[in-house]
Each structure stands twice: as C-alpha cells, then as structure tokens.
Structure 1
Amino acid sequence: MRLAVRHETRYQFDPPLVHGLQRLRLSPKESHGQSVRAWRMELSGGRVEVSYDDHNANHVTLASVLPGTSELVITCEGVVDTADRAGVVGRHVGRLPLWAFQCQTPRTRPGARLKALSAPLAGQGEDRLAQLHALSQAVLAAVAYAPGHTDVGTTAEEALGAGRGVCQDHAHIFIGAARLLGVPARYVSGYLLIDGRTEQEAGHGWAEAHVDGLGWVGFDVSNGISPDARYVRVASGRDYAEAAPVTGITWGQSASTLSVSLAVEQQAVQQ
C-alpha cells in the first residue's frame, strides 16, 4: 500500500520567544514491510541544527527556534510504501540491548492494578504470541477508548485506575504488563490510515513486544489488531518520551499554543 502523509505542527508564542530547541522525531523508519519513497521537512520560524540517529535507531532532527519568533511551523510530508506483515517487524536493531526493554520506566511502572491485570496471564508463556494477544484484549476491556481524560504525563497505572484513556495509555499499560511477564516491550509512534477519513486530529501510538523466533511484533490495543499495511512506523522507544514526535525546551516568559493538522491517504501505485 502506498500512503501519502502531510503533518503540520504549529506553535504560537505570546510574547515572541527568546530562544528554544526542538527535538523532532518526524521522519519514518525504513523497516521490514516499510519503504520511504520520499520525505521532506520544512521549518518556518526555526532552523535545523543537526540530524542524527538516536539509540533507538530513530531519525532525529534537532532544530532551534529563531530569537523573536512568534510562530514556529513544522511541516512534514512524504510517501511511504507499506506491506501487511501481520504486525511482525523483525529483528532488534539500535544501540540499546534487548534487555533494556524489560526495564520499567516512570510511565509504565506497575502498581497494584497493573500487577492484577497481568497476573492471570503469567502461566500462559508457553505460547507467547497468544499470551500477548490475550493481554491486548485484557487492556482494552479494562480501559475504554475515551479522549480527554488523560494527557501525555498520565502513567499506565493512573490510566488503568481511571478506566478511560487513548492509544498512548493503552500502549503504556500493555508495555508495563508485558514487562511484568518477562517480555521486552516498547512504544511506537506513527500514522494510521483511517478508513473513509483523510483528516485526523493527531498521530497514532501502539506497542511492540519481542517474541522469540519472530522478533518485534506490533499490538494496536486501541483497535484490537496487529498493525497492517495501513500503519506507518515513525519512532520507537521504551515509552512515549523516547518516541514523541516533538519535544523541546524554551527560554523566556512566553505562553504557547499548539495546533496540529494531519492528513493520511492512500495513493494509487503505478504499474
């Protein structure tokens, strides 16, 4: 499947910003089942300082905000070819060893609720793939998809307690529980082609777990499936913090407002 993506992130500062730095993980990965045919990034109100691959093999652009900027616009667009591999991404790459993805982070650290959720699955490790699909179903049953009740700082334990959340919360709960079961797991940020809809409010997030003999396998808890050809992988990390599309710091007494415009659509493939 050939997918065209246009993603615009707009920050407005009042008063104008003195200085700022933004870490951008907005360039899709080349991976099994995914080929980036074209991709470009443009900045208005900022400039690229350096680009590099981080410890998770994410493509990262470090951009500075120009002094006195009242509006920073980050525009990314491109075309990505994808294939349905039943969620299987394959072997582990990156500088972090596999065992690092068994270590909990502040966002995934389990409390009593997460331990109770994972406990019934602890004896099902003989069929690891089935165990992880059962975990995905258990997370969705425990936490209804409901925007507006959590934010980027909400932990897995907090979202589980609330019983409501979004894709980020589902992924963090799955990751924390998978690690309790002894399975390396990570967060993935990217894009999803939604049937019958081009314009979207935001990107998407899901989880991946490492299964012996298969490598990394994706689980989109919110949609109850493993990622297929409708998904574009952009970045991954131990939790959302390491895969967030935009993170940064600013100097100066300035309030900011954020708006996002995103379109994902399928293109015809010329034979």
Structure 2
Amino acid sequence: MRFDIRYRTCFTYDRTVAESHNELRACPATTEHQKLLSYRVTVAPTARVHSFTDYWGTRVDTFGVRAPHDELEVLAEAAVETTPLPAVTAAPQVSQLAEAAFVRSEVEYLEPTPLTEWNDELRRRAEALVAASGEDLIGAVLAIHRLVRTSIRYEAGATGVDTPAVEVWRSGVGVCQDHAHLAVALCRSVGIPARYVSGYLFSEHAGGLVSAGAGGADRSSSVEVQTHAWFEAILPGGIELALDPTNGRQVSDHHVRIGHGRDYGDVTPLHGVHLGEATAALEATVTMQRFPSHVRRDLDTTSPAAVTTRTPLASATLERADDHRRLQQQQQQQQQQRATQPERC
C-alpha cells in the first residue's frame, strides 16, 4: 500500500522568543515491510536542518532558530510504501524467556522506565495470563493485548504525555500512547521484552481508532489523522509481534512506522526548548493519502535524505556545535521545556 503523508506543526508564541532548538522524529522508517520513497522537511523561520540516526535507529531532524520569532512552523512530507506483515507461524515457548543469551540481548526492553513501571497488581495480572497460556508465549502476549484493549477506554485528553502506566490502569482511560505503555509494562513485568512504537495509522477516525470503512475507503482517499502508537513484543527466535491495543488488532499495512524505543520519550515526534518566557499555542495536523502501490507522485522525485526549500518556508541544518553550546548556556537562566502533547492520538 502506498501513502503520502503530510505532518505539519505550528507553534504560535504569546510573545517573541529569542531562540529555539528542536528535534523532529516524523520520518517513516525503511524496514523489511516498509519502504521510504521520499522525505523532505521545511521550517520557518529560516534555519538550518541537520539529520542523524539516533541510538534506537530513528531518523532525527534537528534545527535551531537563532533569530527572534513569534511563530515556528515545521512541515514534514513523506511518501512510503507498506506491505502486509506475514502471519507468525513459529511457536516460541515461555520457558525460553529465561535463556541467558536472550535476556542479555533484550535487556533494554526488559527494564522499567518512568512511563512503563508496574506495581504488584499489574505483575500479578500478567503472571495469571502467562500461567493460563501454558508454554504458548504468543498466546500469553495476545492475552495481555486483549486485557489492555478491554480494560482501557479510549478518551482523548484524559491523560498527558507523562502519565505512567500504573495511573492509566487505575483510571481505566487513555489514548494510544497509554495503551502502548500499559501493554509494554505488563509484558516486561513477566520477563517479555517489549518496546514502544511511534508511527502513523491510516484511519477514518482522528484518534487512531479504526472504523469499519477505513480499510475500504476510496483508493486515493485522504484523511486527517494524528501520530499513533502501538507496541512490539520481542520473542525468542527473532520474532517481533506487533500489536495495536488501541484498536485490538495486529499491526497491518495501514500502519506506518516512524521508530521505536523504551517508551514515548525515546520517539517524541517533536520537542525542543526556547529562550524566553513565552507560552506557545500549538496546531498540529497529519494528513495521509492512500494510493495503489504502482502510482507515482511528484514527491517521489525527492530523495529520502533531501531537505528542500520552498516559499514561504525555508529549509535548514543543525546549528554549529559552538552555537548549540552557547544556546545551552543561555538556557540555564531561562528555559522552558515543551512537547507536542495535543497531537497525541
């Protein structure tokens, strides 16, 4: 399946800020079942953009705006092709989780983080599901997935970007980020490595909830969505079981992956700092358009690594290292941290 994706974020400050520095993680990854055809980033005011791959394998576009500004606009445009994920036919066993080599290789996805910590109640619930599954490890993960799906009601705005899994469990409400964090916490509590995945989902519902018609929309249909989140259980034998508990389904070719990490903090779509006492109003939109895979679009002429310029937006690369250090020193006196909470699905 072929998608054109347009990710736009605009910050409007209530007073002029002197400088800002930002990191963007919006580029679709290239994987065995997903191919990035093209990608470009434009920003205003004029800056310079530098791209690198972070520790987790996610592309990061980073830029600093040194001139005073009262608005910041970021636009990422991508074309990507996805193919269906094959059905898992292997049958890993629960007892394999204890193998030393496997534990060492996945230790980063076994430890709790502030957003994926668990308590005794969560651990006991997960242990009961694993025990009921016998040696069927995939069955145990699917049971955890179902528990999250049936226990957490989707409610936009009920949580924040820093809401931990335990609080989500207690409240029984959340968004896609919370569903993913809770599933990750439950898996890790019983020794199943799991990671948080950030991406996009072609859906007719802005919250990342799939409607019955989402899979049968017009071949060139365009929808307004938000960034989405799901989780992957890492199982012995190199198996990566990707599940979307927000929708109670396995990840499909309607899902477009950006990157993964231990939790949301490793793959935050856009975050940064600004110098000044201003507060910002945020407008964030994601548009996805679907085409048959053989259709070529104008955006395909841009290479995946390209950064282009167009009016009135201007492209950019990373500020020099000395500029970055200077900005950090200034921010010791005045710094505000912000994250793009309103774009959460």
Q: Distance in 1 between matches of 2:87 and 2:26?
A: 21
Larger C-alpha radius of gyration, 1 or 2?
2
Q: Distance in 2 between matches of 1:20 and 1:114?
A: 40
Q: Distance in 1 between matches of 2:134 and 2:179?
A: 21
Q: Distance in 1 between matches of 2:175 and 2:47?
A: 33
2:162 aligned with 1:153: yes
- Over 3 Å counting, the alpha-carbon distance change for 1:86 and 1:152 in structure 2 is farther
Q: Distance in 2 between matches of 1:138 and 1:165?
A: 14
Offset of residue 108 of structure 1: 0.4
Q: Aligned AA for 2:198? A: S
Q: Distance in 2 between matches of 1:165 and 1:105?
A: 18
Offset of residue 120 of structure 1: 1.2
Report the counterpart of residue 29 of structure 2 in structure 1.
29
Work out which of the residue numbers 244, 247, 251 in structure 1 matches 2:275.
Answer: 251
Runs (5+) with no aligned partner, structure 1: 89-95
Work out which of the residue numbers 105, 109, 114 in structure 1 matches 2:113.
Answer: 105
Corresponding residue SS for 1:168: helix
Work out which of the residue numbers 146, 150, 161 in structure 2 matches 1:141.
Answer: 150
Q: TM-score, normalised by structure 2?
A: 0.73
Alpha-carbon RMSD across the aligned residues, in angstroms, is 1.9
Q: Distance in 2 between matches of 1:149 and 1:223?
A: 18
Report the counterpart of residue 258 of structure 2 in structure 1.
234
| Higher mean displacement: 120-129 or 73-82 | 120-129
Report the counterpart of residue 44 of structure 1 in structure 2.
44
Corresponding residue SS for 1:139: helix
Offset of residue 214 of structure 1: 4.0
Identity rate, percent: 28
- Over 3 Å counting, the alpha-carbon distance change for 1:2 and 1:16 in structure 2 is same
Runs (5+) with no aligned partner, structure 2: 89-103, 204-213, 296-345
Q: TM-score, normalised by structure 1?
A: 0.92
Q: Distance in 1 between matches of 2:87 and 2:58?
A: 19
* Contact 1:113-1:157 within 8 A present in 2 as well: no
Q: Distance in 1 between matches of 2:128 and 2:48?
A: 49
Report the counterpart of residue 203 of structure 1 in structure 2.
227
Report the counterpart of residue 67 of structure 1 in structure 2.
67
Q: Distance in 1 between matches of 2:236 and 2:105?
A: 15
2:294 aligned with 1:270: yes
Report the counterpart of residue 202 of structure 2 in structure 1.
193
- Over 3 Å counting, the alpha-carbon distance change for 1:16 and 1:236 in structure 2 is same
1:156-214 CA-to-partner distances (Å, cap 9, x unmatched) read 00011000111100000000110012111111111111114733352111111101224
Q: Distance in 2 between matches of 1:87 and 1:209?
A: 15
Q: Aligned AA for 1:62? A: T
**Which 4+ stretches in 1 moved above 3 angstroms?**
196-199
Offset of residue 269 of structure 1: 2.9
Q: Aligned AA for 1:257? A: A
Report the counterpart of residue 165 of structure 1 in structure 2.
174
Q: Aligned AA for 2:78? A: G
* Contact 2:115-2:263 within 8 A present in 1 as well: yes
What is the total number of aligned residue pairs between the two structures? 264
Corresponding residue SS for 2:195: strand
- Over 3 Å counting, the alpha-carbon distance change for 1:46 and 1:181 in structure 2 is farther
Corresponding residue SS for 2:249: coil
Q: Distance in 1 between matches of 2:152 and 2:225?
A: 21
1:7-59 CA-to-partner distances (Å, cap 9, x unmatched) read 10111112111111111111111111000111111111252342211110110
Offset of residue 117 of structure 1: 2.8
- Over 3 Å counting, the alpha-carbon distance change for 1:164 and 1:87 in structure 2 is farther
Offset of residue 115 of structure 1: 2.2
Corresponding residue SS for 1:22: strand
Offset of residue 125 of structure 1: 6.0
